[in-house]
Amino acid sequence: MTDELRTAALRWIADDPDPASRAELSAVLDRLPDSAADLADRFAGTLAFGTAGLRGPMRAGPNGMNLAVVTRAAAGLAAWLAARGAEGPLVIGYDARHGSAGFAARTARVATGAGRAALLLPRPLPTPVLAYAVRALGAVAGVMVTASHNPPRDNGYKVYLGAGLGGPLGDGAQIVPPVDAEIEAAIAAVGELSAVPLGADGEVLGEEIVTGYLRAAAGVTDPDGPRELAVAYTPLHGVGAAVLADAFQLAGFAAPAVVPEQAAPDPEFPTVSFPNPEEPGAMDRVIALAEATGADLAIANDPDADRCAVAVPDPRTGWRVLRGDEVGILLADHLMRRGARGLYATTVVSSSLLRAVCAGRGLPYDETLTGFKWIVRAEGGELVYGYEEALGYAVAPDLVRDKDGITAALLVAELAAGLRTELRTLTDRLDELAAEFGVYATDQLSVRVDDLAEIDRAMRHIRSRPPAALLDEPVRTEDRLPGADVFLLRTDSARVVVRPSGTEPKLKAYLEVREPVGAGGVAAARERAAASVRALRTETAAALGIR
């Protein structure tokens, strides 16, 4: 087996266009047999191109993100576009991770080598700017080089389609099946990389494209609304700081105070274990800054600024980070109160509260599979708002048909500023919603694994031996296979949704308990719901066979 791997590695080295990757893989060969496990992992397969595009560790070999893999992906995408007779430029964005600028530049050269115009965003920018640019420039497709909130060693490659191939709902949205499989087949059909023609560097766009996005983003707020608000902010070493500051200024808000040690892009993300605002501790520094400056809100974007996290001062518990479901319902309610009529949508793993609110207010609602590629294609009317519990919000889907952490932050600020004039807070509004619709308490059981086989084992375990009861209530099950690797367990008052993460080596179980507000009021109902969620978490872990 080692001889076969050595031969495969030598073939790869001979075709690899990057001297640094060639040297890296040669060094692995030099360390054999001690490096046999490393070599086997690098050649365990080809980094899969799915509906999230490519995402994986930066390393040489087919099972990693590197210039050879990106060249092949770009050539496959170019061939797929050409086979469909699709016309128009390819627009390319990138973040500040290791390799992102080089991967973007190589994608542009592959596109021009295939006879297609390539337009590069002017600098490392948030993913929502790329999604906006696809529509604004009438591009045939877009590529965003980013691994979002993954660890520092990772990078990724997302593909968006324009109106010609994506259709009205998919214009400026990420790809969905069967397009991902078709592009992956085109990638597999690419021959030797030395035969892939490379053209000119492509056109670097001016700042006008960013200015256009910023003006449109600022327009999501009511120009006559209150603006008195103090915000502490962190981009978590990502690319959001300058864009968010400009958006706040254009919308009339004071500039946020920014965590200084996290303000500049840094691909090593040195101050956080994982650059994901969902992770415990990721918002500690921005909360400390908010306390020190007397801020009304603490806001964090993830590194590519398509997600938005919010923390608020709570007189009962001190500063606390709001769950994505809490921010999601706050923004939905705010838009409804502003008179935004149309379709509201979320995903199967998000809280059921949005469904209840839409039913109570006579608004159309849809529930989709996980991911904004599905939310923006929700059915039942013209989408005016979509969210997912993983801190993603589309508050202006006519502007960006994807999650957008910049516009979400603006709308959160508008809501908080308006409540502030009434001496009320975001938590007050959450209590009002609970009093009207009941308490919907959510939590997540997330298990990070080193061996992906552990996820498959747990999914088989829950499917073959689901619990008969949860919280002493009979369980009804629903299996979304083969369409989606999602397994649901429902009782009269609770729901558990189990699925593998689409972007990280994690197994996730999404927990929800519904508790009516009785004579004891909202606070008592929240206490009962919290206790039930804790019990549900324990029972779910046991049902998954997690030790």
CATH of the domain at 100: 3.40.120.10
pLDDT in tens, 167-219: 999 999 999 999 999 999 999 999 999 999 999 999 999 999 999 999 999 99
Average pLDDT over residues 34-54: 90
Question: Is the model more confident about 410 or about 545?
Answer: 410
Indicate if 391 and 525 belong to the same structural domain.
Answer: no
Place of tokens 């696809």: 134
Residues 417 and 330 in one domain: yes
**Residue 24, pLDDT score:** 97
Do residue 149 and residue 196 come from a single domain?
yes
Using the predicted structure, report yes or no on whether residue 65 has a pLDDT greater than 70: yes
Whether residue 278 sits in one domain with residue 294: yes
Least confident of 389-403, 439-453, 461-475, 515-529: 439-453
- Is residue 168 within 8 A of residue 114, CB to CB? The reply is no
Q: Which of 206, 238, 256 is the last residue of a domain?
A: 206
pLDDT above 80 (res 445): yes
The pLDDT tens digits for 457-478 are 889 989 999 999 999 999 999 9
Among 206, 231, 253, the domain boundary falls at: 206
Give the phi and the psi of residue 184 in degrees, each rounded to 5: -60, -40
Domain membership of residue 504 as a residue range = 438-544
Residue 450 forms part of a structural domain:
yes
- Does 451 share its domain with 421? no
Q: What is the pLDDT of residues 408-429, one digit of tens each?
A: 999 999 999 999 999 999 999 9
| φ and ψ at residue 54, rounded to 5 degrees | -105, 145
Domain shared by 429 and 443, yes or no:
no
Kindly state whether residues 159 and 74 are assigned to the same domain. Answer: yes
Q: Tell me, yes or no, whether 488 and 529 share the same domain.
A: yes
Q: Note the pLDDT of residue 518.
A: 87
Confidence of residue 547 (pLDDT cuts 50, 70, 90): low
Give the pLDDT confidence of 492-521 residue by residue, as tens digits: 999 999 999 876 788 999 999 999 998 899
Beta strand pairing status for 469-470 and 473-474?
antiparallel
- pLDDT tens sequence across 120-160: 999 999 999 999 999 999 999 999 999 999 999 999 999 99
464 is catalytic: no
Q: Are residues 200 and 126 in the same domain?
A: yes
Residue 182 sits in the same domain as residue 216: no
**Residue-wise pLDDT tens digits, 299-317:** 999 999 999 999 999 887 8
Residue 2 has pLDDT above 80, yes or no: no
**pLDDT of residue 51 exceeding 80:** no
Q: Is residue 396 part of a domain?
A: yes
Neighbours of 492 (CB within 10 A): 9
Residue 234, domain member (yes or no): yes
In a domain, 28, yes or no: no
In a domain, 479, yes or no: yes
Computed over every residue of the chain, the mean pLDDT equals 95
Split into its structural domains, the chain has a count of: 3
* Residue 431, C-beta contacts closer than 8 angstroms, at least 6 positions apart: 522
Residues 168 and 185 in one domain: yes
The rounded percent of the chain whose pLDDT value lies above 70 is: 99
Burial letters for 387-409: b for 16+ Cβ neighbours within 10 Å, e otherwise?
bbbbbbbbbbbebbbbbbbbbbb
Residue 384 belongs to some domain of the structure: yes
Nearest to 494 by CA among 519, 480, 476: 476
Same domain, residue pair 246 and 165:
no
Name the band, by pLDDT with cuts 50, 70 and 90, for residue 1.
Answer: low
Q: Is the pLDDT of residue 52 over 90?
A: no
What is 129-177 written as a DSSP string?
A: HHHHHHHHTT-SEEEEE--TTS-TTEEEEEEEE-HHHHHHHHTTEE--T
| Domain endpoint, select from 206, 231, 263 | 206
Q: Which of 148, 350, 351, 532 is catalytic?
A: 148
The per-residue pLDDT for range 215-271, each reduced to its tens digit, is: 999 999 999 999 999 999 999 999 999 999 999 999 999 999 999 999 999 999 999
| CATH number for 445 | 3.30.310.50
Question: Hunting for tokens 């923004």 — which residue is that?
Answer: 331
